[in-house]
Amino acid sequence: MDRLKQGLTEATGWLLYVSLLMLLALALPRDVFDPDSKHFLFIIGAVGIWRYSMGAMHYIRGLIFLYLVYPYYRRQVRKLGSAADPSHVFLMVTSFRIEALTTAQVYGSVIQEAIDSGYPTTVVCSIVEMSDELLIKSLWAKLNPPERVKLDFVRIPGTGKRDGLAYGFRAISRHLPDEHAVVAVIDGDTVLTPGVVRKTVPWFKLFPNVGGLTTNEFCEVRGGYIMSEWHKLRFAQRHINMCSMALSKRVLTMTGRMSVFRAQVVTEPEFIADVESDHLEHWRLGRFRFLTGDDKSSWFSLMRLGYDTFYVPDAAINTVEHPPEKSFIKASRKLMFRWYGNNLRQNSRALRLGPRRLGWFTSLVLFDQRISMWTCLLGLAVAIIASLKYSIGFLLVYLLWIGLTRLILSILLIASGHHIGPAYPTILYYNQIVGALVKVYVFFRLDQQSWTRQDTKLTRDLASFQRWFNSWSSRAMTFSAASVFIAVLLTVV
């Protein structure tokens, strides 16, 4: 009954969206739809050629990997049989300030996977609170794992996830894992689906140079409808992009929700140092440590050490998302600030690795990440300027173009296998504009970082003049960049 109600609600939503597009089209002059007219609808799309071509390349590459290349790889893995089994599996979970119900779900799924996988396994619990230890021990006693499954607690200070990972990696090092052992790094809000371990660990045997791989994600959001749809849309887009990058074995992030590494990688002192104390030397802001973005640091470390990265689309996990604010606008901005900051802090130094190490397509994607904050704003800015200088019709045409293209992009996401909802077209455009504005803001403030779940912020012991200079130079550069952007468009349009 609930499924039928949900289906009717979504059908109504799609119908309402299409009806609004039709009303907008009826409000426009007829010559907008005449291909011989200078006002023809699709002319305005010329400003998005770069963005649409990049999106099309990702989409086509993603489908090629998902439906052609990956099934071939999977057959190769099956042929290996037990020869692809690891000598030992470490399931490391980092937990800090996560509600008890979620913690119980997470560790219950991890312990059950350790039992069901059939491999010699050690569950490494990197925790802060004693209450978490007591909860885990009670779950352990209830599930009663066999002798081949061990439990190892690592007590850490509540100073951030990076420290938790580093303590956990050092604890694994003390077990002296051999070259055939693997380590799964799992976030404290990630619930494993049955069989996910057996689906991920054999790939290291098939691809000897893969140092780490990551998994497909679905989510349960403890928030309102829009926040839930926003997260689900993000994971659908992520799935296609991950598949695209996996075609080159250059997946751009080792997500902290669940990624699997060779044990010989995570026990390397250089890798541990990269994750624990990653930092950036900025020409204006000085030297500062990375508070967030451990998934980007681990990816960059793998690239620098000469490893490949991979994605397993049929190995799924479920994450429990707790929005940092009740308001969708505030929560999404906070999350974007963290995600895009992590991206931009890694971007410039990743590009310096060069196409010889990264490959030409990966270098192109990293370059696109750097300029997308401006290309995403270009269409709206041109439409507003044209409507002010010439006619309001230009803005209406632009809105119709956005409505149609976002509808098509949403429908194309059906190929991802993720749920598609009627709010997706609107959320896609929200992400484009608000996301671009957040990127512009954070690009000039790379030293500003904070967690969304913990009240932890980066503190720097700077002299008062340095703090003043950083603050005002960031504001001046933001204003200057925005002014140049608008001035160029006023000249051209």
Gap between the Cα atoms of 146 and 150, Å rounded: 8
Tell me the DSSP string of 116-149. Answer: HH-S-EEEEEEES-HHHHHHHHHHHHHH---TTE
Residue type (1 letter), 309: T
Higher pLDDT, 291 or 120: 120
Instruction: Please say if the pLDDT value at position 7 is more than 80.
Output: no
Can you give the pLDDT at residue 209?
95
Q: Write out pLDDT tens, residues 465-478.
A: 788 888 899 999 99
Can you give the pLDDT at residue 13?
86
Helix (H) or strand (E) holding 89: strand 89-94
The percent of residues above 70 in pLDDT, for the chain, comes to 93
> Taking the CB of residue 71, how many other CB atoms lie within 10 A of it?
11
Confidence of residue 213 (pLDDT cuts 50, 70, 90): very high
Gap between the Cα atoms of 20 and 23, Å rounded: 5
Can you give the pLDDT at residue 418?
86
Can you give the pLDDT at residue 67?
95
Instruction: Please say if the pLDDT value at position 461 is more than 80.
Output: no
Q: Taking Cα atoms as reference points, which of 152, 195, 232, 141 lies closest to residue 416? A: 232
Can you give the pLDDT at residue 115?
96
Cα dihedral angle (356, 359, 361, 362), rounded to 10 degrees? -100
Can you give the pLDDT at residue 251?
95
- Whole-model pTM: value is 0.90
What is the distance in angstroms between the CA of the first residue and the CA of the last residue of the chain? 54
Can you give the pLDDT at residue 43?
46
Gap between the Cα atoms of 488 and 381, Å rounded: 11
- Give the lowest-confidence range in 98-102, 242-246, 261-265, 357-361: 98-102
Can you give the pLDDT at residue 35?
55
The percent of residues above 90 in pLDDT, for the chain, comes to 55
Can you give the pLDDT at residue 386?
85
Q: Are 86 and 200 in contact (CB under 8 A)?
A: no
Given phi > 0 = left and psi -120 to 50 = alpha, else beta, which region is 144? Answer: left
Helix-helix angle 393-412:360-389, to 10 degrees: 150
Q: Write out pLDDT tens, residues 61-113.
A: 999 999 999 999 999 999 999 999 999 999 999 987 788 888 999 999 999 99
Instruction: Please say if the pLDDT value at position 457 is more than 60.
Output: no
Can you give the pLDDT at residue 28?
74
| Main-chain phi, psi angles of 30, to 5 degrees | -65, -30
Confidence of residue 164 (pLDDT cuts 50, 70, 90): confident
Can you give the pLDDT at residue 448?
86
Instruction: Please say if the pLDDT value at position 358 is more than 90.
Output: yes
Higher pLDDT, 256 or 88: 88
364-391 mean pLDDT: 88
Which domains does the chain possess? 52-369 (3.90.550.10)
Q: Write out pLDDT tens, residues 8-60.
A: 878 888 889 889 888 888 877 766 555 555 544 444 455 567 788 888 999 99
Whole-angstrom Cα Rg for the chain: 24
CA distances from 474 to 302, 369, 469, 488 (A): 32, 20, 8, 21
CA dihedral (259, 260, 261, 266) positive or negative: positive
